[in-house]
A and B are shown apart, each in its own frame.
Chain A
Amino acid sequence: MIMKNGETHISSFASLGIVLTVLLALTTISVLVTGWHLGPFSVAIALIIASIKVRTVLTYFMHVKFENLFLKLMITGVFVLYALVIIITFIDYYLR
């Protein structure tokens, strides 16, 4: 959390409260969407909402927004790597 000017970023209580509100709203949407019975789309929507939530937690609760570029790239890299693992597994699974 040390920024370029050498100062540490301190998240305000209010901003953390807003982040929680957003997360709870997304959870509500996620539960409501399940009730609509959209078939295969409901999985996609649930996962998209979950990804937005994870990104929000990473950015604000885990302070990634205020981290240095190196750590940001590492975190992005790990998620990209995992996405590739999933994609490659499914390519293998469906083209077998």
Chain B
Amino acid sequence: MSTQAIHSERIESETGKLGMWIFLFTELFLFGGLFLVYAVFRAKYSADFHTGAQELNTFIGTLNTVFLLVSSMTAAMSLTAIQKDKKNLAIFLLAMTILLAALFGMNKYFEWSHKFEFRLYPGSEVLKNLPHGELLFFGLYFMMTGLHAIHVLIGMILLSINIFKIKNGEVSSTHYLHLENSALYWHLVDLIWIFLFPLLYLIT
């Protein structure tokens, strides 16, 4: 490959990544808006938020934090592996990331279904009869973790696509922008959870 070709490819990769970052900024503000609503209502109804948070299981929350942190590392490692041209290792690390994401989702499923058993879900009679602040807490809890869970699902799909792309050679040690951007998306999912976890589970 000529030097010029390599150069133009690099510029393409840089701009592709810049585009991804700009998209991530919009994602930050999407969640940022919810965090802002949370902050204001928490300041107004701090006692109710405290009672609401007592209902959440800190152990499940902590376990999910660990799953996401480890998965973020395996995602970063898969990029290192592909850069070093270790395809099988990269695929293995991506599979690990997806597995950890699935474990996160499974935990979330059990957590939510436990809430549903107690008739705690958006629009339920039980929720409507709670004090106003608790209603807001659970509304924000379902909205924020739900939106986050959708992002986890999208991340899983993006990472799975990368496994196929590595297999058929579209993602390689010289062309890894797709994997790099997908990993960035996955790290964003992790970043949001890093803030969600203390705000929802660790309130005292």
Spell out A's residues near B (CB within 8 Å): 1-2, 6, 8, 10-13, 16-17, 19-20, 23-24, 27, 30-31, 34, 37-39, 42-43, 46-47, 49-50, 53-54, 57-58, 60-62, 68, 71, 74-75, 78, 82, 85-86, 89-90, 93
Contact B195 A89 (CB under 8 A): no
Contact B21 A23 (CB under 8 A): no
Q: Quick check: is B58 within 8 A (CB to CB) of the other chain?
A: yes
Residues of A near B18 (CB, < 8 A) are: 71
> Do most interface residues of chain B lie in helix, strand or loop, or is the interface mixed?
helix
Contact B204 A90 (CB under 8 A): no
Residues of A near B43 (CB, < 8 A) are: 90, 93
What is the 8 Å Cβ interface bit string for chain B, positions 12-24, against chain A (1 contact, 0 not)? 0110011001000
Q: How far is the CA of A53 from the CA of B192 in the complex (A)?
A: 11
Contact A16:B73 (CB < 8 A) given known A11-B80, A24-B66, A93-B40: yes
Expressed in whole angstroms, the minimum distance between the Cβ of A71 and any Cβ of chain B is 6
Q: How far is the CA of A50 from the CA of B35 in the complex (A)?
A: 14
Within B1-40, the residues touching A (CB, 8 Å) are: 10, 13-14, 17-18, 21, 25, 28-29, 32, 36, 39-40
Q: How far is the CA of A62 from the CA of B190 in the complex (A)?
A: 11
What is the 8 Å Cβ interface bit string for chain B, positions 166-204, against chain A (1 contact, 0 not)? 000000000000001001100100110011011100111
Number of B residues whose C-beta is below 8 Å from A? Answer: 43
Q: List 5 A-B contacts (CB under 8 A).
A: A8-B83, A10-B80, A20-B72, A34-B204, A46-B199
Q: A10-B80, A57-B190 are in contact. List 20 more A-B contacts (CB 8 A).
A: A1-B180, A2-B10, A6-B10, A10-B83, A31-B62, A34-B198, A43-B203, A47-B198, A49-B198, A57-B194, A61-B73, A62-B187, A74-B21, A74-B25, A78-B25, A78-B28, A82-B29, A89-B36, A89-B39, A93-B40
